[in-house]
């Protein structure tokens, strides 16, 4: 059986190719060549076929490894854009989520600030209303107090005036009585004087008339 039959490629394999894969194998081949004189031909053929089989298996393994490595590299290269796209999508999602969270926080903060402003405005309005009501109540109390004081003053003034008038009347009563007495006395005196004058005039007239009658006789 020849080397061509063991390799199955139709070509005779070079014995030096085994040495390129493994240098100790070349040394073994040299030692085998030295012993070719003493070893039968069948033994040499089986030894060559085993070496060729080992070399072919090693090449197949190496080729398979290279192909596997190439496939893995190709898969990695193909998967790299996908990974990049996935990373971009993930980054975009994180950024979008962060923007949404920031927007939500801003809206929440704005709502809290608006609520605080409304509450402060309500408190101010309530305080202003209370102050206005207190001012009105104070003004009303002042007006009421002023009215009471004015009424008291007027009442006091009226009482004083009435007391003065009453005192004046009491003081004037004796004067009026005295004046009335004087007037009555004057009137009675005048009447008496008038009556006396009339009486005197009558007497004089009567006397003249009697005197005249006497002289005429």
- How would you write the pLDDT of the chain (217 residues) with one tens digit per residue? 444 444 444 444 444 444 444 444 444 444 444 444 444 455 555 666 666 666 777 777 778 887 778 777 777 777 778 888 888 888 999 999 999 999 999 999 999 999 999 999 999 999 999 999 999 999 999 999 999 999 999 999 999 999 988 888 888 888 888 888 888 888 888 888 888 888 888 888 887 777 766 666 5
Side-chain half-sphere of 110: how many Cα atoms within 13 Å? Answer: 6
The one-character DSSP state at 9 is S
What is the CA angle 69-73-77, rounded to 5?
170
pLDDT given at position 147? 93
Tokens of 125: 């309005």
The CB density around residue 18, as the number of other CB atoms within 10 Å, is 20
- Classify residue 54: in a domain, yes or no: yes
Contact, 3 vs 12, CB < 8 A? yes
pLDDT given at position 217? 59
Tokens of 61: 């393994």
- Classify residue 62: in a domain, yes or no: yes
- Classify residue 37: in a domain, yes or no: yes
Contact, 54 vs 13, CB < 8 A? no
pLDDT given at position 50? 67
**Widest Cα–Cα separation across the chain:** 254
Break the chain down into helix, strand, coil percent, rounded to 5. Answer: 95, 0, 5
- Classify residue 193: in a domain, yes or no: no
Classify residue 51 by burial, with Cβ atoms within 10 Å: 0-12, 13-18, 19+: buried
What is the sign of the dihedral through the CA atoms of 143, 148, 149 and 150?
A: positive
Q: CA-CA distance, 82 to 34, in Å (whole number)?
A: 61
Q: Please give the helix or strand (H or E) that residue 12 lies within, else none.
A: none
Please state, in angstroms and as integers, the Cα–Cα distance from residue 130 to each residue in 59, 100, 123, 124, 136, following that order: 102, 44, 10, 10, 10
Can you give the residue range of the structural domain that contains 49?
3-81
- Classify residue 204: in a domain, yes or no: no
Tokens of 212: 């005249």
- Classify residue 21: in a domain, yes or no: yes
Chain-centroid distance of CA 6 in Å reads: 92
Tokens of 187: 């009137």
Q: How many domains does the chain have?
A: 1
- Classify residue 59: in a domain, yes or no: yes
pTM score of the predicted model: 0.31
- Classify residue 109: in a domain, yes or no: no
């Amino acid at each position: 059986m020849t080397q061509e039959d063991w390799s199955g490629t139709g070509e005779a394999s070079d014995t030096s190719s085994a040495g390129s894969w493994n240098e100790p194998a070349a040394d073994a081949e040299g030692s085998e060549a030295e012993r070719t004189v003493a070893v039968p031909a069948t033994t040499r053929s089986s030894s060559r076929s085993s070496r060729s089989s080992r070399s072919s298996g090693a090449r197949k393994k190496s080729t398979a490894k290279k192909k596997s490595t190439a496939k893995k590299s190709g898969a990695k290269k193909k998967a790299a854009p996908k990974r990049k796209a996935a990373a971009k999508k993930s980054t975009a999602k994180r950024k979008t989520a962060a923007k949404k969270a920031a927007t939500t926080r801003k809206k929440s903060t704005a709502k809290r600030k608006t609520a605080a402003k409304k509450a402060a405005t309500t408190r101010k309005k309530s305080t202003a209303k209370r102050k206005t009501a207190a001012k009105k109540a104070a003004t009303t109390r002042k007006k009421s107090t002023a009215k009471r004081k004015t009424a008291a003053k007027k009442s006091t003034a009226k009482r004083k005036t009435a007391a003065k008038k009453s005192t004046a009347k009491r003081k004037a009563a004796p004067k009026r009585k005295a004046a009335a007495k004087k007037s009555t006395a004057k009137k009675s005196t005048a009447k008496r004087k008038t009556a006396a004058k009339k009486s005197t005039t009558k007497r004089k007239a009567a006397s003249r008339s009697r005197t005249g009658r006497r002289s005429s006789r």
